[in-house]
Structure 1
Amino acid sequence: MNIKSKALEVNLASYHVDVSIDERYMVLQEVMASYRGLSEKMEAFLKELSHPYRNWGFIVSEARTFALDYFHQLRKHEKGCDAAKLYAKIFASAVKAAQRTEVKSDAADNLLLLTRKMAREGGPQLAEAINVAFDEIGNLGNEEFSFFVKSYYQLTDIAATILEKADVSNLDIPAINSLLLRYLNGVYRFWQQEKDCMAWLEKEIGQ
């Protein structure tokens, strides 16, 4: 019993490491610096991002809060575009690295929500971040990409919003078109594999 306890202590101790915030994430703290009441929350988020054993569920939840609930900071801060690009990469990383399916799904949904919000409200200053978001999605493997195919938030709707409201002069339209083609092919294959589409739809809407 003592041997097992000692082994457990050693194993647990390996997860307790001193974490310094990675410099590449400091822009997120800089953009939120005016919200002093959130400094501890932001620091905990950045340390988790910098930790060798990341809790992706926590990271996705906190990234959603900072990126979406405080989106106005991304829009008005001089480094808001850099922060928005980083949030897009964080969500995409979660889709790839998280172990739990629900965390991967949440990360995909949040990346789509962020992209939609940038298209609707971001203005030309966030065009580069939109490009990065689409690049991150397009670079995912088929298994990870399937979370975007099955998401409630459709890439086609987001692309339509981009073309309607965003300044397209700084957008990579060929890359967006290529991603949409992949997405539509994925949607078509997904529905082909569903034996009873109505049963699936009723399940999704909770009926």
Structure 2
Amino acid sequence: MKLRRILALTTLALAPLAANATLTTLTAPWPPTGSTGLDGVEFNVQTNAATGVMVAMGAHPYKNGATMPNDGISTFYAPSGIYAADGLGRANWSFDFAWNLGTGCGSCKVVLSIDQDPSSAIDYVSNDQMKAAFGSSYAESWNLTMGFIPFTFDPFGASDTNFLLQVLDADGAVMVESGIRVLVGSNSVPEPSNLALAGLGLAAAAFARRRALRK
């Protein structure tokens, strides 16, 4: 009986970890014809139910697989350093983005915003010409060492970077948006087994406390 109670409490402690898992791979019609390198990448995909407009943000190891550890919702845990094999000096991870505006969104804007502050503070720099540059349907992978935004990224340092992809209507109102957070360096992700042990420990402590209070 005691063991069943402890296990039940453990299940309750771990339940939030399994809830709200939204990361998924792209499905047809994504990625658009011509896009490469995004097979198996996990995205935070968001859709405007009224218009069907879709946006997605994701992240993956640079030239080293399709997936990175994540919380199943919007946070990825990336390795620090650079990928030396190709000599380009790229960071060991890249961020990915995609959108599909469908039809009837001729006046829409696609805005990509990237956090230029490596700490937990958020200081976005934005590009609101993504649709003008790439069209109404697009998917791609970029690396922060490419220098396309006006800040210097240190791939070797610990960092906390937010990414936001939005579609705005003709009045500038947000129709739909997708965001992710990438933690690098000292920000590590707990192993599932450690999470389970922690949950079991908390449950056991709660049981012991209740028992002591009854005496």
TM-score calculated relative to the size of structure 2: 0.25
When you count helix as a share of all residues, which structure comes out higher? 1
Higher relative contact order (CA 8 A, sep 6+): 2
TM-score calculated relative to the size of structure 1: 0.26
Larger radius of gyration: 2
When you count strand as a share of all residues, which structure comes out higher? 2
